[in-house]
Structure 1
Amino acid sequence: MLTAPPVEANGNRRGIIAMCTAMACFMTNDTLVKIVARDLPSGEIIAIRGAFAAVMVFGWLVAAGHLRDIGRVASPLVAARAGLEALVAFLFISAIGALPIADITAIFLITPLLITALSGPLLGEQVGWRRWSAVAAGFLGMLLVVKPGGAGFLAGSATVMALLSVFFCAIRDMVTRFIDPRIPTIVITLTTCVAVGLFGAAMIPFQGWVTPSLTHVGLLLAAATVVVAGNHAMILAFRGVEVSLVSPFRYTVMVWAIVSGIAVFGEWPDVASWAGIGLIVGAGLYTLHRERVRLKVRRAEVEAKATLP
């Protein structure tokens, strides 16, 4: 039976910062990809972006002195994570062209609820009612944004692909938690980029090839840059942390999604969506507040034990 490595000192704080950074990077990537998806098939987009990303990460790995660790890409858990990431990327990019960016982002935020539900039985983490309440509030906010049962939510296969990407994303993040901490994060990132790129290339014969313009190539190069940074931050976010605590900070991506939707695509949220966004952000902030309270309690307990004769 697999055993997750212990939570690191200050791991949760580092995980929260990494998660927020990853969300900003991923939303920038999503915006760029959505623009390109108007003209190019999803497999081609993934393949081109993946090639750029793999070259960047390999250079990073060499510069960081981890070339000797390249053999660790064959680790079963690292390979499994890479395969899941490739599937998530394909499903998400296939859906993003047909859905408003705020809607698909909100659908994706079901992930923390799934992870919280899994972190108890799989990781043995103690998830109290306050954490459950915060995650449930964020989930309710997602429902207000997406409005399930409306025409937009039920329109075609795009929503189904988005929901499937959520499921596989939750499994991917749980797998990340079990990866040997001695394996450098950059090695995991490289494996992810290569697997995603190869998955996209494998889809080209089925979807066809459209010759990209220099603008398309430039946008995908920029997307590769931010997705590399985002993947690296996401892996850091789930190593040596309490997964159920860090995961709800995915909700910060909604802030970026709304800004992108308005500024780039002219998609203005309605009143219900604004209320949902408020719940999502509030849930994340409350979770951060609870972590600070728990940290103070733990410190007080340590200090009390230290003063005992």
Structure 2
Amino acid sequence: MLSDNNKGALFMMSAMAVLTAAEAIQKTIGSQIPLFQMLFIRSIMGCVLLIPLSYVIGPIQFPADVRTNAILFIRSLGDVGASFAYLAAIISIPLANARAIVQILPLVMSLCAFFFLGERLGWRRISAILVGLFGVLLIVKPGSEGFGLPALLVLCAVGFSVVRDLGTRFVRPDINSLTVAAYATLMVAVCSGIASAFTAWDPVSVTQIGLIFVAAISLLAVYLFLILAMRYGQITFVAMFRYTGLLWAIFAGFIVFGDWPDSLTFVGAMLIVGSGVFVVYRERRLGQNTASRSRDPLT
């Protein structure tokens, strides 16, 4: 019988595998039709698919207060920017390279939590963040021919993701997760629709429509898997299995596109993953120590 943590880990690994499949599909379609056109079609499909999903998870809410709507709006803009920048990047660079750079996000979030949320940050985690940033430099290779717009776009995607994740911290606890996802999906639909109106549309085949639909369903499946992962397992335990996404990206990049990371990319990825796992492990240890102290009758 699997423990709750093991169930959470399986759901997290499943989410990363399905996410990689969705990215591979979008990388393929994005090289055939304009990016904004693909995103608009996918997000419209996502909006439609949210309707039956609301019967499973709970109804989509429409908060009345201005503050909550403003937070959801800013968070959704971060989601839009991250989607646009990341998908534009993976069209031109291997999935593994892009996914490896994105793994720096938990480290950047730790740094932002220190500056904006007042969370403590010891020298061990600061050292891990610096190691992770060095790993990113090995992957993007600044100053070399390998450094260009795609690598910058992935870094921009990380920046937008920080806005999205920090915004999530400020969403009221009574606002359910599906509402947050619905706001983001609708925002992507609106922004990609506006952007696509200023670009020429290419004919879309039945096969392409089918693949985009599979990508839309896959992204909703990722959303469900992530919810189940967080509900079953401890967040600090389950979060470590998010890094399996890099393995899936390497595998998919090689099988589907024939891409294989060079040695520097491998080293950089290992540094990022290692430092990220250390930060998650450190947060878990600190959480356990805090809990044990709170149970101590002498404190």
Counterpart residue type for residue 115 of structure 1:
M
What is the rounded CA distance, in whole Å, between the counterparts of 2:223 and 2:201 in structure 1? 27
Does 1:274 pair with 2:280? Answer: no
Counterpart residue type for residue 20 of structure 2:
M
What is the rounded CA distance, in whole Å, between the counterparts of 2:137 and 2:242 in structure 1? 16
Counterpart residue type for residue 58 of structure 1:
I
Counterpart residue type for residue 26 of structure 1:
L
- Residue 174 of structure 1 corresponds to 166
C-alpha contact 1:77 1:175 (8 A) present in aligned 2: yes
What is the rounded CA distance, in whole Å, between the counterparts of 1:76 and 1:159 in structure 2? 31
Question: Structure 1, residues 265-304: CA drift from partner, whole Å, max 9, x if none?
Answer: 1111222222222223322332343244334423432343
Superposition TM-score, scaled by structure 1 size? 0.80
Q: Secondary structure at the match of 1:207?
A: coil
What is the rounded CA distance, in whole Å, between the counterparts of 1:29 and 1:254 in structure 2? 14
Q: Secondary structure at the match of 1:153?
A: coil
Task: Determine which of 145, 151, 161 is the counterpart of 1:159.
Answer: 151
- Residue 6 of structure 1 corresponds to none
- Residue 111 of structure 2 corresponds to 117
C-alpha contact 1:251 1:281 (8 A) present in aligned 2: yes
C-alpha contact 2:97 2:261 (8 A) present in aligned 1: no
Alpha carbons of structure 1 residues 40 and 169: separation in structure 2 relative to 1, 3 Å: same
Task: Determine which of 111, 134, 138 is the counterpart of 1:140.
Answer: 134
Counterpart residue type for residue 81 of structure 2:
L
- Residue 46 of structure 1 corresponds to 39
Post-superposition shift, 1:256?
Answer: 2.1
Post-superposition shift, 1:52?
Answer: 1.3
Superposition TM-score, scaled by structure 2 size? 0.82
C-alpha contact 1:176 1:235 (8 A) present in aligned 2: no
Post-superposition shift, 1:140?
Answer: 2.4
- Residue 101 of structure 1 corresponds to 95
Question: Structure 1, residues 134-189: CA drift from partner, whole Å, max 9, x if none?
Answer: 233233223223322221212xx333333322221111111111100100111111
- Residue 290 of structure 1 corresponds to 282
C-alpha contact 1:252 1:281 (8 A) present in aligned 2: no
Q: Secondary structure at the match of 2:142?
A: coil
Alpha carbons of structure 1 residues 268 and 136: separation in structure 2 relative to 1, 3 Å: same
What is the rounded CA distance, in whole Å, between the counterparts of 2:105 and 2:261 in structure 1? 22
Q: Secondary structure at the match of 2:257?
A: coil
What is the rounded CA distance, in whole Å, between the counterparts of 2:228 and 2:72 in structure 1? 14
C-alpha contact 2:76 2:184 (8 A) present in aligned 1: yes
C-alpha contact 2:106 2:276 (8 A) present in aligned 1: no
C-alpha contact 2:104 2:272 (8 A) present in aligned 1: no
C-alpha contact 1:186 1:232 (8 A) present in aligned 2: no
C-alpha contact 1:237 1:246 (8 A) present in aligned 2: yes
Q: Which runs of 5+ in 2 are unaligned?
A: none
Identity within the alignment, %: 31
Counterpart residue type for residue 143 of structure 1:
L
Post-superposition shift, 1:222?
Answer: 1.4
Alpha carbons of structure 1 residues 145 and 220: separation in structure 2 relative to 1, 3 Å: same
What is the rounded CA distance, in whole Å, between the counterparts of 1:136 and 1:250 in structure 2? 20
Question: Structure 1, residues 54-108: CA drift from partner, whole Å, max 9, x if none?
Answer: 11112211343425x2456972211221222122212222222122222222333
